[in-house]
Structure 1
Amino acid sequence: MAKNSYRGSRKYPTEESVINEIQRRHTEGLPLNYTAVKATDDSLRLRSETLFGKYAHAVEAAGIPYNSIKKNRYTSIKCGHEFERVLSGLLKELGISYKRMSHGKHRPDFTFKNGVWMDAKLSHSRVINCQSPTLREYNAICRNLIIVYLIGPDEDRVYGETRLTHVNRYIKQLPKHRQSFYLRKFASISEKVENSVAA
């Protein structure tokens, strides 16, 4: 038996434990597509493949149509780009200047003159506990990293060289009439994401 087939066997020893974890993630609205699971909990993916033959078969065994997960992923990607565009407008309106540029193979959403990078994420759930590849890779290169997220607690926290900030922290810096404009825009994006997860 291949060495990889044992990876994750302590965490997910049985088919039932794999199914329970997939159902838990689905209930909590966490992304279940192949790429997201590989990035956040590769042992779940590996055990799914070992016990069910394919990751998609494990998802189906948990009672979730795998095609719906793929559709949700595309909706999330589209919403992520929309969030980034609206955040770009918000930063401009606040007078925060930035550039969009590559740093070798890395391409943060926004680069500031002082060596600080900013990346827009739909949800804080993948970023916390260093689950995000962005967090690991960017922190090694930039001076500081700011992750601005849409879905999650309305707070501003610092983890080492990384600041996790809800987008509302930027919206609150605007006059009231402009706040409502951005709150509506971001609420619309958030609703699309939530509807795609519930579908």
Structure 2
Amino acid sequence: MTSTTVPTELVRSAQTYFGRWKNAIRELGVIQRRKEYAETAAIRYGYESRRIWSDDAIKEALMSASLRDLTSMEFREQYGNMSESIDRRFGGVLKACESFGVPKLRRDNTDIYKFAGYAFEELVGELFTEIGMDIAKQQRFGDCIPDFVSGNTWYDAKLSEWTVHTSDTIKKYEPKCDRLVIVFLRGNITTDRMLTDKTRIVNVRHYVDQLPRISRGFYLRKFSEIEQRIEDEVA
């Protein structure tokens, strides 16, 4: 923001009270607020997830996680953006540990994730129906069985935002559908962006917010219970 892009009257008032236009900008904290807005936008629209992490930074984070005895899922929760980069470059957290010679992180309790995944999928189906979506469940299209189908759009329910980077869902589904929507539970609640020309990733809260306020509490409570069950089991 420069003095040439705002009304002359505002510049004159700023000079009267602060001496110079730059002094007014600094005193009023405009630069800081612009910085905070940029950081918020980066998180909301996923710019931060494209950050390029150095090998040293990744190794240091893995070493720290190993020393703290974190599971691979706990690592993803604490290093969300970095874990996406690790998935793209190494094919997963455990493979990155192997590549850097770092003691592998503990594997997660797969049983609880299977239970939670099923519970989340069932709840998403109920939510879709309640907001008026016309859906079909678990239809088979060759070797593909999307969780839900509505018109020409396939929906896949995933527990975590980062799971899509370690699965073959997009590669497998995109050639056979017009649009693919990944609906997730754990991750950035503001996420709603396109991963490819066909695939959108969105937090389940986007659909909860389409309900009347009086109905949202039930789903928010149920989703919270699923998250808490996972945390209790892997703690």
**Superposition TM-score, scaled by structure 2 size:** 0.58
| Aligned with residue 200 of structure 2, among 142, 158, 163 | 163
Does 1 or 2 have the higher relative contact order (CA < 8 Å, sep 6+)?
A: 1
RMSD: 3.0
Instruction: Choose the corresponding residue for 2:150, options 97, 105, 112.
Output: 112
Q: Secondary structure at the match of 2:171?
A: helix
Bigger Rg, which one: 2
How big is the shift at 1:117?
A: 0.1
Unaligned runs of 5+ in 2: 1-54, 79-86
SS of equivalent residue, structure 1 residue 92: helix
Q: From 145, 165, 169, give the equivalent of 1:134.
A: 169
Structure 1 stretches (4+) deviating beyond 3 angstroms? 24-30, 39-49
The total of aligned residue pairs comes to 161
2:116 maps to 1:79 = yes
Could you tell me which runs of 5 or more consecutive residues in structure 1 were left unpaired when the two chains were aligned.
Answer: 1-10, 31-38, 53-57
Question: d(CA) in 2 for partners of 1:116 and 1:27?
Answer: 32
Structure with greater helix share of residues: 2
Q: Which residue of 2 aligns with 1:27?
A: 75
Map residues 1-199 of structure 1 onto 2, 5 A cutoff: 20=63, 23=66, 25=72, 26-29=74-77, 41-42=90-91, 44-45=94-95, 48=98, 58-59=103-104, 69=107, 72-100=109-137, 101-113=139-151, 115-127=152-164, 130-155=165-190, 156-159=192-195, 160-197=197-234, 199=235
Rounded to whole Å, the distance in 2 between the matches of 1:188 and 1:147 is 21
User: Corresponding residue for 2:81?
Assistant: none
Task: State the SS of the aligned residue for 2:224.
Answer: helix
Aligned-pair identity in percent equals 30
CA shift for structure 1 position 42: 4.3
Which TM-score applies when normalising by structure 1? Answer: 0.68
CA–CA distance in structure 1, aligned partners of residues 97 and 186 of structure 2: 29
